[in-house]
Amino acid sequence: MADAPVKEKQVKLQVATLRAEESGAGIARIPRTAMAELGVTEGDVIQISGKRDTAARVVAPYAEDEGIEVIRLDGLQRANAGAGAGDMVHLSRVEMRPATRVVFAPAQENLRLQGSANALKRSFFGRPLVAGDTVATAGQQRVPAGDMPPQLRQMLNAPAYALAEVRLLVVSANPKGVVYIDESTEVELLSEYQEPQDARRTDVTYDDLGGLGDTINQLREMVELPLRYPELFQRLGVDPPRGVLLHGPPGTGKTRLARAVANESDAQFFLINGPEIMGSAYGESEKRLREIFEAATKAAPSIVFIDEIDSIAPKRGQVTGEAEKRIVAQLLTLMDGLEPRTNLVVIAATNRPDAIDEALRRPGRFDREIVIGVPDESGRREILAIHTRGMPLGEDVDLGELARTTFGFVGADMAALTREAAIEAVRRIMPKLNLEEGTIPPEVLAELRVTRDDFLNALKR
Ligand code: ADP
């Protein structure tokens, strides 16, 4: 009997999420049984295949995961593998090869990166990379970047240096397959944004939302599942929700959440800004609405997100303007007119749920509601961890303490706080900069830390 061809051992596991603070590190947590089956130990590299192939370094499971058959991946990796939480992926052991050449480009719109491919080399040294992946500079690393407040950029009057995590697309990597950067790798950085090809958009994932665990679960059930598995709902004969109303104070992450759901569901995202669309000329607003719904229907699966819906659809009884009446009527017509099979969900946000037209709350319209509150201490802590990802923090910075002392802050306030603290840190090193030269000496950059005092000073502002 002829020998059967030697087949690589394959293991199939269900995808779950990684803790937000571990995201961007390029690791995958898998069960010890799977490690044994694959013949790998911690630190080895595995290939992960869903609709796409990607790779990660193996790390032991969380203590509470012992005995559970899941692979934990961060949001970028889920996109890179073409698999959402709950999907199955195939794993196999893989040998990484040293890269001769790797080309990166910014994976975020409006992000212009300048210069130093060398800094990138340091950031990704030894990390498993596959062409087409989106990767993040994480941990205490910095790369030159344009992703910073204009205020800061002005102060520096120089190629901008980001104090935050930056997302990059691996445009190409040679040789083919899974590679890593070593001393001899030639690294190139393109300056312009590049849309990932067959991969999902990764500008926002669930990892970028702090303190919203339960909300994310609710939205996953209401929106992500129906968008990703429409046939399941058809089979069961239940209509997935058409409209979901998010209500909560401004700056609590409603917009970010809608974007994350779209990305994680592999759906197109269409944004309608309430006040903006109201400002259009006679008849224009309705036309815009129709156009957006038409485009979203064509591009389905899609999410149409209506921000500040109260401004376009206030209670009709209270409305004096004809324009509002027409727009509400148009929106209702569009929602009622969607074919049951159209894979489209409308998510609307408001901070005044009782101020919107009741007709919009009827079955088949915005008949689901999710409340998003002001984050509590642990939520604020999570949000801080997200916004300080990639920020070189001083040893005296205690995120727990900051979370305790920021009662009442919403996500947007926490984001502003970390931004301000970074600016404080830059202010401190300003005297050491030679602004004429337009570059920051590497040794100054290397010692740049955002300290506890920077945060306290930022809080005072
Ligand atoms: P909303 O739509 O509720 O007004 P956004 O989603 O526009 O709020 O949030 C504004 C910004 O505040 C976001 O881009 C993000 O930087 C930050 N932010 C808000 N909520 C969160 C959160 N839960 N986690 C992380 N960042 C948040």
- C-alpha–C-alpha distance, residues 244 and 210, integer Å: 21
Q: At what angle do helices 322-336 and 284-299 cross, to 10 degrees?
A: 20
Indicate whether residue 250 lines ligand 1 (CB < 6 A). yes
Helix (H) or strand (E) holding 15: strand 10-17
Residue 117 in this model has a pLDDT that exceeds 60: yes
- Ligand 1 center from residue 414 Cα (angstroms): 9
Bridge partners of residue 174, in order along the sequence: 101
For every residue of 228-271, DSSP letters joined together read H-HHHHHHHT-PPPSEEEEE--TTSSHHHHHHHHHHHTT-EEEE
Residue 21 in this model has a pLDDT that exceeds 80: no
- C-alpha–C-alpha distance, residues 102 and 120, integer Å: 10
Please identify, by atom number, the ligand 1 atom nearest to the C-alpha of residue 209.
24
Indicate whether residue 388 lines ligand 1 (CB < 6 A). no
- C-alpha–C-alpha distance, residues 95 and 346, integer Å: 44
What share of residues in the chain are helix, strand, coil (percent, to 5)? 40, 20, 40
pLDDT tens profile 288-305: 999 999 999 999 999 999
Average pLDDT, the chain: 84
pLDDT tens profile 189-220: 887 777 766 667 778 899 999 999 999 999 99
Residues of the chain with pLDDT > 70, as a percent, come to 85
Indicate whether residue 383 lines ligand 1 (CB < 6 A). yes
- Ligand 1 center from residue 415 Cα (angstroms): 8
pLDDT tens profile 40-80: 998 899 999 999 999 999 998 998 888 889 999 999 999 99
Q: Let me know: does 389 contact 141? Beta carbons within 8 Å.
A: no
Q: Let me know: does 11 contact 90? Beta carbons within 8 Å.
A: yes
Residue bearing tokens 């990059």: 168
DSSP state, residue 71: E
pLDDT tens profile 221-232: 999 999 998 888
Residue 198: per-residue pLDDT: 64
- Ligand 1 center from residue 418 Cα (angstroms): 13
**Cα-based torsion angle of the residue sequence 174, 175, 177, 183 in order, rounded to the nearest 10 degrees:** -70
Mean pLDDT of 138-166: 43
Residue 110 pLDDT class (50, 70, 90 cuts): low
Residue 101: per-residue pLDDT: 95
Select from 147, 252, 386 the residue to mutate for testing ligand 1; criterion: most ligand atoms less than 8 Å from CB. Answer: 252
- Ligand 1 center from residue 345 Cα (angstroms): 21
pLDDT tens profile 332-348: 999 999 988 889 999 99
Select from 256, 382, 389, 420 the residue to mutate for testing ligand 1; criterion: most ligand atoms less than 8 Å from CB. Answer: 256
Please identify, by atom number, the ligand 1 atom nearest to the C-alpha of residue 211.
23
- Ligand 1 center from residue 413 Cα (angstroms): 9
ipTM over 0.95: yes
Residue 377 in this model has a pLDDT that exceeds 90: yes
